[in-house]
Amino acid sequence: MNIEWILSNYGVLLPEAVLTLFAFAIILIGLKYRSILGYLAFVGGVVSLGLVIMNFSVNATLLYNSLVFDPLSQFFKVVFLLVTLLTIIASLRYYHGNAHQGEYYFLLLIATVGMMFVASANDLVSLFVAFELGSIATYVLAAFDKENPRSIEAGFKYFMIGALSSAILLLGMSLIYGITGTTNFTALSQMSFEMSGYTLAALVLIIAGLGFKMALVPFHMWAPDTYQGAPTVVSAMLAAGSKKMGFVAAFKLIVLALIALRTEWYMVFAVIAVITMTYGNLVALTQRSLKRMLAYSSIAQAGYIAMALVVVSYTHVDSVVNLAMGGALFYILSHAFMKGGAFLAVGTVGYMLLRDKIKVDEDDIDNFSGLSKTAPITAFSLTVFLFALAGIPLTAGFVSKLLIFSAAIYGGLAWLAVIAILNSALSLFYYARVVKVMYWDKPKFDLKGEPTAYVVAVLLALLGTVLLGVYPGPFVDVAMKVAEVFL
């Protein structure tokens, strides 16, 4: 066995291997040199991202087909790594000088490794193990600010609900194994299922378990408290990155592996999608906490993405399925920039309040009064993110919604598209309210300068949001090409 044999057979694992090596290197180097740990984590993320992009068109399997490396897995890895890099950039300022930043960056990179393995999972066992690797690290990250009671509460609630959802998902997986005698997705996709009580129970448990991960109603209860209480940089990671782990698992397990049951879960996902988007938007209307508002907005966005699952289960027309899944993939990439950027912009204000020793709730909407005068870059960026989430033209959100709503219409689900459009119009009210406060109200505090690291992260997210809206063609083409995996 030599290095050439290892690279030829296991070279597709290099992105995960590099990130893991950097994570452990950070722990060791952090014993003596703490000031460079964030930059080291950033370098690890960039190298890993480069390796993924270099092998974007790869098609390979490992470990008896339990891991698969194809454009679908590589697409999600790019999303996870982009969110991680934005989080690391903002964390350079937030955790500067923190005695435990080594553990923080270690957990951040390990969580990303877990998400990347979820994207490559092609077996129930590998999927569950990867899920737990990514999830356990994020439980700790949510509670990382130990001196903040809200952070501890967020981590505890996230852990308890996450453990429950993992148990439910595992039970559903065990029933699938008992019914079929296999755990491999490829083998499952070639089987026909008889709708028995066991099959129905397995399907319900899997939808419930994945529903928790995707924060779909009624499995969403952990999200608002967790996003509000966790450190804002971690909230950005959870909303823009970790939630996508649930979607890639759902796409792989439900759309690819259990495709024979597609007609059985059409109405279930239709009801869940409608309730999720409507409930998320209605509750967001009443929120004064911007982190909590963004949490409910994120729940509503999950409802829009879940529309793809409804379309796939309702129609068998390949072109419509491709449009639905391609639109969902483009939406997921766009959402990573829009939602991640919005949380980081809110975190910028929270950091400035903390830095200037202003003792208020960091994310109360009143704190954003007149922000355009005291922090113009942050105010402008947050405005673009909010309008993008609402689906205003020339933003990534508009193109995302256009694709996925069109898929619903072409798939014979015009009623679903109408409900989604009405929900988008409703969301504009609470997004515009924040913009009004930032640009028309008088400043409540005299904030002294925007932190550079936060501004860089926010501007990079802004660039992604605008680029995907103004010049979406190449990215839509990639999403549609990747979506051919589902045909």
What number is the average pLDDT over the span 136-153?
84
**Number of domains into which the chain is organized:** 2
Q: What angle do CA 169, 173, 179 make, to 5 degrees?
A: 145
Which of 223-248 are b and which e, b meaning 16 or more Cβ less than 10 Å from the residue's Cβ?
A: bbbbbbbbbbbbbbbbbbbbbbbbbb
Q: Higher pLDDT residue, 36 or 384?
A: 384
Kindly state the percentage of the chain with pLDDT values over 90: 24
What pLDDT score was predicted for residue 184?
Answer: 86
Which tokens in the block code for residue 178? 């008992």
Separation of alpha carbons 295 and 289, rounded Å: 10
**Secondary structure class of 67 (helix, strand, coil):** strand
What number is the average pLDDT over the span 457-480?
92
Beta bridge partners of 364: 289
What number is the average pLDDT over the span 163-190?
87
Residue 329 domain flag? yes
117: nearest Cα among 264, 12, 236: 12
Residue 6, Cβ density class (10 Å: 0-12 exposed, 13-18 middle, ≥19 buried): exposed
Separation of alpha carbons 68 and 55, rounded Å: 13
Q: Is the pLDDT of residue 191 over 80?
A: no
Are 435 and 383 in contact, with CB atoms under 8 Å apart?
yes
CA distances from 336 to 35, 320, 342, 396, 413 (A): 28, 24, 10, 10, 27
Residue 208 and residue 282 in one domain: no
What pLDDT score was predicted for residue 383?
Answer: 92
Beta bridge partners of 62: 67
| Residue recorded with tokens 């919005």 | 342
What number is the average pLDDT over the span 101-116?
90
Residue 350 and residue 482 in one domain: yes
Are 66 and 126 in contact, with CB atoms under 8 Å apart?
yes
What pLDDT score was predicted for residue 314?
Answer: 84
231: nearest Cα among 343, 390, 81: 343
> What is the band of 91 on the pLDDT scale with cuts at 50, 70, 90?
confident
Residue 61 domain flag? yes
Residue 273 and residue 240 in one domain: no
Residue 7 domain flag? no
Residue 243 and residue 313 in one domain: no
How many residues would you count in the chain? Answer: 487
Which tokens in the block code for residue 96? 């500067």
Are 242 and 162 in contact, with CB atoms under 8 Å apart?
no
Question: Which residue among 241, 261, 281 closes a domain?
Answer: 261
Residue 138 and residue 226 in one domain: yes
Residue 4 domain flag? no
Separation of alpha carbons 208 and 439, rounded Å: 42
Q: Higher pLDDT residue, 28 or 316?
A: 28
**Phi and psi of 187, rounded to 5°?**
-65, -40
| Long-range contacts of residues 129-132, Cβ cutoff 8 Å, at least 24 apart | 131/166, 131/169, 131/213, 131/245, 131/249, 132/166
Q: What angle do CA 274, 139, 228 make, to 5 degrees?
A: 60
Residue 282 and residue 426 in one domain: yes
**Secondary structure class of 397 (helix, strand, coil):** helix
pLDDT per residue over 359-388, tens digit each? 777 778 888 888 888 888 988 999 999 999
Separation of alpha carbons 442 and 252, rounded Å: 50
> What is the band of 4 on the pLDDT scale with cuts at 50, 70, 90?
low
Q: Is the pTM of this model over 0.95?
A: no
Give the CA dihedral 453, 457, 462, 463, nearest 10 degrees.
Answer: 100
Residue 294 and residue 249 in one domain: no
Question: Which residue among 261, 283, 313 closes a domain?
Answer: 261
Residue 208 and residue 271 in one domain: no
- Measured in whole angstroms, the distance separating CA 319 from the mean position of its chain's CA atoms is 26
- Measured in whole angstroms, the distance separating CA 306 from the mean position of its chain's CA atoms is 13
pLDDT per residue over 216-250, tens digit each? 888 877 888 888 888 888 888 888 777 788 888 88
Which of 304-318 are b and which e, b meaning 16 or more Cβ less than 10 Å from the residue's Cβ?
A: bbbbbbbbbbbbeee
Kindly state the percentage of the chain with pLDDT values over 70: 97
Q: By residue range, what is the domain housing residue 352?
A: 265-487
Q: Is the pLDDT of residue 337 over 70?
A: yes
Which tokens in the block code for residue 376? 């113009």
What number is the average pLDDT over the span 350-360?
79
pLDDT per residue over 393-419, tens digit each? 888 989 999 999 999 999 888 999 999
Residue 286 and residue 257 in one domain: no
Are 347 and 94 in contact, with CB atoms under 8 Å apart?
yes
What pLDDT score was predicted for residue 264?
Answer: 66
> What is the band of 79 on the pLDDT scale with cuts at 50, 70, 90?
very high
Question: Which residue among 200, 227, 261 closes a domain?
Answer: 261
Q: Higher pLDDT residue, 239 or 307?
A: 307
What number is the average pLDDT over the span 102-127?
90
What pLDDT score was predicted for residue 9?
Answer: 60
Q: Is the pLDDT of residue 425 over 80?
A: yes
Separation of alpha carbons 215 and 197, rounded Å: 26
Q: Is the pLDDT of residue 98 over 80?
A: no
Separation of alpha carbons 172 and 254, rounded Å: 12
One-letter-per-residue 3-state SS of 95-138:
CCCCCCHHHHHHHHHHHHHHHHHHHHECEHHHHHHHHHHHHHHH
Residue 444 and residue 468 in one domain: yes
**Secondary structure class of 451 (helix, strand, coil):** coil
Residue 255 and residue 324 in one domain: no
> What is the band of 420 on the pLDDT scale with cuts at 50, 70, 90?
very high
Which tokens in the block code for residue 99? 């005695």
What pLDDT score was predicted for residue 263?
Answer: 66
What pLDDT score was predicted for residue 230?
Answer: 83
Q: Is the pLDDT of residue 260 over 80?
A: no
Residue 2 domain flag? no
Which tokens in the block code for residue 377? 């870059």
Separation of alpha carbons 469 and 45, rounded Å: 25
What pLDDT score was predicted for residue 84?
Answer: 92
Structural element, H or E, at residue 60: strand 60-62
Q: Is the pLDDT of residue 8 over 60?
A: no
Average per-residue pLDDT in the chain? 86
Q: E-strand spans in 342-410?
A: none
Residue 288 and residue 172 in one domain: no
Separation of alpha carbons 210 and 256, rounded Å: 15
> What is the band of 7 on the pLDDT scale with cuts at 50, 70, 90?
low
